Structure 1
């Protein structure tokens, strides 16, 4: 049975893979001509830059999520660290939805703050208990 922290990590990888597929779909009319409107325009043109920006975001703050999880895989995982890992992943999904489907920067900031705090919580666990099983 895999370590419990593998599941939230894999879920985030699945989110990134989904975003790559979504970006390919959104670019298809412009790049391959698949799905163009009758006037030749791309029906997904307004979403493509948002998807691209969100995909890029998946390789910024999440890097610190993975680093904390890898340390915790070696030093021990508490129930709190698992909860924080899942809060992070669910927050990333919400962040993606807000960034891609809306232009509400304030809401996106609130959702990001949840992600930010979850990762800081993971790092607090790492820093306070580096070699104990929790």
Structure 2
């Protein structure tokens, strides 16, 4: 597995950008009248709130992902760090799909747990790379 931690970080940024585009398209019937139904309603009203919630999710736990990656970039990032970063990004994409396209809370929880553990793994690598926990 080759590459830099900046690649999965950029992939997560691309996911957030895609969600902004998707949210704009879902709001187009209400905001600009583009794609309204003949009765004037928005055909995307049911999914718009889920897209918006998912977009908000991209600025919660992922913050810890980006900070861990930035810190690991200061050290020699290992293949383990790169693998965990890609697990996180793949999990975020899957989490977005599950949250936006369905209502399976159990599956969403499993995917979130995977993302959560990947970031905790990255932070464990940060602590190890920095020389372990401080000694008092």
The TM tier, using the shorter chain, reads over 0.9
How far the C-alpha of 1:130 sits from its partner, in A, is: 1.4
Q: Separation in 1 of the partners of 2:102 and 2:130?
A: 40
How far the C-alpha of 1:129 sits from its partner, in A, is: 2.0
How far the C-alpha of 1:110 sits from its partner, in A, is: 0.3
How far the C-alpha of 1:84 sits from its partner, in A, is: 0.2
Structure 1 unpaired stretches of 5+: none
Q: Separation in 2 of the partners of 1:71 and 1:7?
A: 15
> Which residue does the alignment assign to 1:25?
25
Q: Separation in 1 of the partners of 2:16 and 2:65?
A: 14
Q: Separation in 2 of the partners of 1:129 and 1:74?
A: 9
CA shift digits 1:78-102 (9 cap, x unpaired): 0000000000000000000000000
> Which residue does the alignment assign to 2:134?
none
Q: Separation in 2 of the partners of 1:73 and 1:108?
A: 30
SS in 1 for 2:38: coil
How many residues in Structure 1 have an aligned counterpart in Structure 2?
Answer: 129
> Which residue does the alignment assign to 2:43?
43
TM-score (norm 2): 0.93
